[in-house]
Structure 1
Amino acid sequence: MDFIIDAAVKAIKHLYQIDVAPAAIGLQETRKEFDGQITIVTFPFTKFSRKGPEQTGTEIGEYLLSELKEVAAFNVVKGFLNISLNDEYWIGQLYNEILPDSFAVAKPNGQKVMVEYSSPNTNKPLHLGHVRNNLLGFSVAQILAAAGYEVIKTNLVNDRGIHICKSMLAWQKFGNGETPESTGMKGDHLVGKYYVLFEKELRVQLAPILDRIYEKNDLSLFKEGQKVKIEALLNSIDKLKVKKQTTPEANTKAIDELNDKIGADQDKIKEIAKGATQLMIETQQMLQQWEAGDAVVMDLWRTMNGWVYAGFAETYKQMGVDFDKYYYESNTYLLGKDIIEEGLEKGVFFKKEDGSVWIDLTADGLDEKLVLRSDGTSVYITQDMGTAQLKYNDYHMDKSIYVVGNEQDYHFKVLFLILNKLGKAGADGLFHLSYGMVDLPSGKMKSREGTVVDADDLMAEMETTAKEQTEAMGKVDGFSEEYKLQLYHTIGMGALKYFLLKVDPKKRLLFDPNESVDFQGHTGPFIQYTHARIKSVLSRADYNAGIKTDIAALDGVERDLIVLLTQFPTVIQDAANGYSPAIVANYVYELAKTYNKFYHEKSILQAEDETLKQFRLQLSASSAKVISQGMALLGIDVPERM
């Protein structure tokens, strides 16, 4: 639409003798209740015209109508100039822009971007939260690539630490040599089973210790510093209970707040008490052995992580996501220590009397942040600083996107601020793509572990739901069993992906498996079915893709469809700029709705003449192409038959 912007700049110069920059001309889509396709907001120009917004819009509209052969008419509503372009222009858009293979294929923009997503722990299978993370990260990477970026998809695997040792120790104690082969379980599920067993046994060992604390006031199991902390917490609980007893029963809010504080103090005592269990003592010893490179522990670690990686690979394949580069915490967790020394030399960090290293961010509206413990061991942010430097050294990317849940908002705010203060290359290109949690309707789906919904279970449930609803509609008569199985997977995964991606990433969402497979709703299967419908029409026609028809005029729904199709390249750029697959998802839904309106209102195969038939087939083929490309950006396949 640059030609309209240029003409509007000339109109203002001609009418009001003022030079304005092209960026001052804001174009937007005309609202559906008004005639036109392109709208110019005229309020900013009233200071030049010294007239009301309606008169200013009328004057600019008359200039555009006289100067541009593409403008057929205009109307002004308050401060909005709505422009109607003629059918010749829109027909030209179909043949010159949309139908060619080059449509919506952006030229390389010379920028490199890394998208980091998934970031699983190797002590349990992927769960529902990982599903949104993986689908979001993969889709953002696809969209950025379509917008002209060179994209590197990375996965930072959390493969070390106390949580990994919990699964390892439980397997040693209770596993009896079980392997994925001997049990028939996926490796990640087998390791996850022992993580659950560890927590179960930990609760058994924890109960008598808590009883000694609360019933006998016996703190002999704890070191002096731990005793002081527990005693302080017990005193706090006693005071809170007294306060609760004197609070009027009618003040339920105050009572609830006191109960929450009591519960928080009890949780703190529980965390300290866990360290006194035999199980946690042995786990800490195993972690120390791992860090010391003990051969037996390292061998077990490699074996069990190998099981998990094989399981993850199956899940990723089923999910339809992949990665260009893996980073492993076991290789990166010490990397930040050199940066700590650099920061101390630059005065960015400071050292306290106990030897711990901190950064003071109070001037930035935050607080003091620990970056290295007094014993010289790293904390998470130490590792993340080092990993950020490593990734930049490997790829020298212009942008680096971290796809991580919103519970880590503060962590990334601090990380990016520190890297900027250190003057690290690439620090100004860091972005945290923060997303909300996913909830399920109660009782819809139960997880294997009873606490979180397993990703494999979720995907299997989606295929079952797709199968039930598709067969109930009688949509698979005549299909081979092999094609049916492929179709159920395509529909089930399309439903899952579309439902999770159509919502703005920042928002928390409620995922309903049955609603997501509704063939008539705002869903992936509705869009997939529209694509299959178009392919069915094209397969029954003698379609000449490359022949330009001699059609002179458009019907309203035909024009609406072309207008919507022309927006696809801009939609991709907007989604890339906002790191939001939701922009693409909702655009493709609008396109599918508009095509279905066209399909029901206009005869295609039985059109009045061959010219009109070929034109409508070309319009159908263009719609199928854009639907397919748009869904691919979401990681969703569209079937040829359905």
Structure 2
Amino acid sequence: MNFIVTLTLQAIKKIYGEEIPESTVTLQETRKEFDGQVTIVTFPFTRFSKKSPEQTGADIGEYLVANSVDIEAYNVIKGFLNISLTDVFWLDQLDKQILKKDVGVLRRNGRKVMVEYSSPNTNKPLHLGHVRNNLLGYAVAELLNAAGYDVVKTNLVNDRGIHICKSMLAWQKFGNGETPSSSGLKGDKLVGNYYVRFDQEYKKEIASLMEKGRSEEEAKREAPLMMEAQTMLRKWEAGDTDVIKLWEMMNEWVYDGFEKTYKKMGVNFDKIYYESNTYLLGKDIIEEGISKGVFFKKDDNSVWIDLTGEGLDEKLVLRGDGTSVYITQDLGTAQLKYNDYHMDNSIYVVGNEQDYHFKVLFLILKKLGKSWAEGLYHLSYGMVDLPSGKMKSREGTVVDADDLMADMIDTARNRTEELGKVEGFSGPEKEALYEMIGLGALKYFLLKVEPKKRLLFDPNESIDFQGHTGPFIQYTHARIKSVLTKGGYKAEIIKAKPAILENTERDLIKEIVKFDDMVASAAENYSPSLIANYVYELSKLYNKFYHEVSIIKVEDIQLKNFRLNLSAATAQVIARGMKLLGIDVPERM
């Protein structure tokens, strides 16, 4: 709508003799209870018009109508000038912006962005929390790619540390040589079982020591299992051959399991980093920081940074014995990633419990003078809760990602068969549809909410063909495809235009032509929820259009072709929007 801004600037110069910056003209979508499609806020103009907001709006409105063939009327409500655009304008927009192969694909902008997501631990399978992380990271990457960025999708796997050794030690003690092949379990599930087993046996040892008079803290520290796990970690860091061999074997089990889960979930990566390769990085950066006076040493030789001037605190960046802490390796890994890809922006998709950590990390990199630190961003997201409460990995109460996806597919199967939406489908076609609906419901439910918000995931609510859900949108797409088939529509642009648009037609066109702007906005804000909610509103508008006008039974062949064309354009945008979220839509249901 840039022409409206340009024309408004001309009106202000002509009527009031003022030249103002383009940013002063604010356009909004007109509220549904008022006539018009575009609203101009007139309050900022009263300082030089010396008139009321209403009269100022009337002055500008008259100029716009007189000087544009695309603007047919205006009305002023308080300080808001509502503009009505002609049907010819909307039809021209329809011709220009829809039924093109690259709908929702913006021009390349020459900028590179890295999106890091997933970041699992190799001591347990992926769970519901990881599902939100993966879906969010993947969707943001897809949106940025559509918005013109060169995108690199990365995954930093946490494959070392005491938690990994807990699983290894438990398998060594209690596994009796069990493998994924012998147990029939996916490798990540098998390893996760031993992480739970460690915790169970560890608690027994703590209880036993406390019965002998130890305090709880003493018991936790002196429990034989924990001491053995710590010994194993030291051996791993020293390169002990047997420990490394065990670590490699169990990690391979986990990676194989992860790959199956990622494939089912529909996410992927361009580059995988491993903490076992990066945990020693960062020490050179610490030395650099000391020489620049960014860091300081304490009497015990530990290295710190003073961030009290920024409202934070003093932060340890290297222990006195020279060993790394998390921030050390994160500094080094950030530098490694930049060296590898020289990206303009780097997005870390990590839960909001790490907000403070990333605030410190980015601040340190800026103080070190890293030019690329300005492009770092923590995409912080809220946790996912279930009606049954919180999840704990070590106690085995997490909702496993594989089980969740399987349950969603089963729920979709039951719900779809109840509604009789699979008549004429073969067995394999039914199963493919159930998977599409079940996973679509899961993905849409988790992505329709703003990332920063904590959410309560209700599997039953997510599969509702009439609610604010993925299946409702998928069913709308299938409905449109059915209309096109019954109407004999051919996949080509038909230049058929009615003399006058029905309100539902105009509303539908107006929504469709917003799609490219919505993609740009969703990418800029790293918010797939903008696209999720946009596609839902578009689907609602189509259903209203479907119920209020005749499409394939209308006698006027030109009008029929136009409405089929409008239906095809809607289906195209729905499919493209859902694809950006990693969701497929069915051709029929």
TM class by smaller structure: over 0.9
1:498 aligned residue (444, 448, 452): 444
1:615-626 correspondence runs (5 A): 615-626=562-573
* Alpha carbons 1:447, 1:457 under 8 Å: kept: no
Q: 2: CA distance between counterparts of 1:271 and 1:504?
A: 40
1:28-177 correspondence runs (5 A): 28-177=28-177
Write out per-residue CA displacement over residues 283-317 of structure 1, whole angstroms, 9 at most, x where no aligned residue.
Answer: 11111111111111111111000000000000001
Q: 2: CA distance between counterparts of 1:51 and 1:447?
A: 65
* Alpha carbons 2:162, 2:229 under 8 Å: kept: yes
* Alpha carbons 2:301, 2:319 under 8 Å: kept: yes
Shift of 1:377: 0.6
* Alpha carbons 2:196, 2:393 under 8 Å: kept: no
Shift of 1:541: 2.1
Query: SS in structure 1 opposite 2:222?
Result: coil
1:334-349 correspondence runs (5 A): 334-349=280-295
Q: 2: CA distance between counterparts of 1:449 and 1:311?
A: 20
- Aligned position for 1:395: 341
Shift of 1:443: 8.5
Q: Structure 1: where are the runs of 5+ without partners?
A: 219-268
TM-score w.r.t. structure 2 length? 0.98
Q: 1: CA distance between counterparts of 2:392 and 2:325?
A: 35
Amino acid at match of 1:404: V
Q: Are the structure 2 counterparts of residues 115 and 445 from structure 1 closer, same or farther at C-alpha, using a change threshold of 3 Å?
A: closer
Shift of 1:281: 1.2
Query: SS in structure 1 opposite 2:371?
Result: coil
- Aligned position for 2:210: 210
User: After the TM superposition, which of the residue ranges 118-127 and 274-283 deviates more from structure 2?
Assistant: 274-283
- Aligned position for 2:525: 578
- Aligned position for 1:554: 501
Q: Is the counterpart of residue 598 in structure 1 residue 545 in structure 2?
A: yes
Shift of 1:538: 0.9
Shift of 1:23: 1.8
- Aligned position for 2:482: 536
- Aligned position for 1:266: none
Write out per-residue CA displacement over residues 450-473 of structure 1, whole angstroms, 9 at most, x where no aligned residue.
Answer: 421111111111001101110110
Q: Is the counterpart of residue 16 in structure 1 residue 29 in structure 2?
A: no
Q: 1: CA distance between counterparts of 2:392 and 2:553?
A: 51
* Alpha carbons 1:38, 1:82 under 8 Å: kept: yes
Q: 1: CA distance between counterparts of 2:180 and 2:272?
A: 23
Amino acid at match of 2:504: V
Q: 2: CA distance between counterparts of 1:176 and 1:105?
A: 54
- Aligned position for 1:307: 253
Amino acid at match of 2:313: D
1:250-265 correspondence runs (5 A): none
* Alpha carbons 1:447, 1:454 under 8 Å: kept: no
Shift of 1:146: 0.8
* Alpha carbons 1:448, 1:454 under 8 Å: kept: no
Write out per-residue CA displacement over residues 20-65 of structure 1, whole angstroms, 9 at most, x where no aligned residue.
Answer: 1222111110011101000100000001101000000000000000
1:86-485 correspondence runs (5 A): 86-212=86-212, 216=213, 270=216, 273-442=219-388, 450-485=396-431
Q: Are the structure 2 counterparts of residues 495 and 182 from structure 1 closer, same or farther at C-alpha, using a change threshold of 3 Å?
A: same
Q: 2: CA distance between counterparts of 1:397 and 1:495?
A: 34
* Alpha carbons 2:118, 2:156 under 8 Å: kept: yes
User: After the TM superposition, which of the residue ranges 332-341 and 21-30 deviates more from structure 2?
Assistant: 21-30
Q: Are the structure 2 counterparts of residues 564 and 271 from structure 1 closer, same or farther at C-alpha, using a change threshold of 3 Å?
A: farther
* Alpha carbons 2:38, 2:84 under 8 Å: kept: yes
Q: Is the counterpart of residue 632 in structure 1 residue 579 in structure 2?
A: yes
Shift of 1:449: 5.9
Amino acid at match of 2:454: R
Q: Are the structure 2 counterparts of residues 589 and 54 from structure 1 closer, same or farther at C-alpha, using a change threshold of 3 Å?
A: same
Write out per-residue CA displacement over residues 157-195 of structure 1, whole angstroms, 9 at most, x where no aligned residue.
Answer: 000001001111111111111110111100000000111
Percent of paired sites with the same residue: 69
Amino acid at match of 1:463: I
Aligned positions, number: 588
Q: Are the structure 2 counterparts of residues 447 and 595 from structure 1 closer, same or farther at C-alpha, using a change threshold of 3 Å?
A: farther
Shift of 1:442: 2.0
Q: Are the structure 2 counterparts of residues 555 and 316 from structure 1 closer, same or farther at C-alpha, using a change threshold of 3 Å?
A: same
Write out per-residue CA displacement over residues 358-381 of structure 1, whole angstroms, 9 at most, x where no aligned residue.
Answer: 000000000000001111110000
1:563 aligned residue (486, 502, 510): 510
* Alpha carbons 1:406, 1:435 under 8 Å: kept: yes
Shift of 1:444: 12
* Alpha carbons 2:199, 2:395 under 8 Å: kept: no
* Alpha carbons 2:440, 2:583 under 8 Å: kept: yes
Q: 1: CA distance between counterparts of 2:391 and 2:300?
A: 50
* Alpha carbons 1:11, 1:63 under 8 Å: kept: yes
Q: 2: CA distance between counterparts of 1:134 and 1:525?
A: 21
Shift of 1:413: 0.5
- Aligned position for 2:465: 519
Amino acid at match of 2:569: S
TM-score w.r.t. structure 1 length? 0.90
Q: Are the structure 2 counterparts of residues 282 and 349 from structure 1 closer, same or farther at C-alpha, using a change threshold of 3 Å?
A: same
* Alpha carbons 2:104, 2:576 under 8 Å: kept: no
* Alpha carbons 2:350, 2:381 under 8 Å: kept: yes
Q: 2: CA distance between counterparts of 1:446 and 1:373?
A: 30
Write out per-residue CA displacement over residues 596-642 of structure 1, whole angstroms, 9 at most, x where no aligned residue.
Answer: 00001111110121100000000000000000010011110001011
Q: 1: CA distance between counterparts of 2:547 and 2:98?
A: 22
Amino acid at match of 2:68: L
Q: Are the structure 2 counterparts of residues 293 and 98 from structure 1 closer, same or farther at C-alpha, using a change threshold of 3 Å?
A: same
Q: 2: CA distance between counterparts of 1:345 and 1:209?
A: 48
Larger Rg: 1
Q: 1: CA distance between counterparts of 2:7 and 2:218?
A: 72
Shift of 1:446: 12
Query: SS in structure 2 opposite 1:431?
Result: strand
Q: 2: CA distance between counterparts of 1:164 and 1:550?
A: 65
Q: Are the structure 2 counterparts of residues 476 and 444 from structure 1 closer, same or farther at C-alpha, using a change threshold of 3 Å?
A: farther
* Alpha carbons 2:391, 2:398 under 8 Å: kept: no
Shift of 1:540: 1.8
Q: Are the structure 2 counterparts of residues 272 and 508 from structure 1 closer, same or farther at C-alpha, using a change threshold of 3 Å?
A: farther
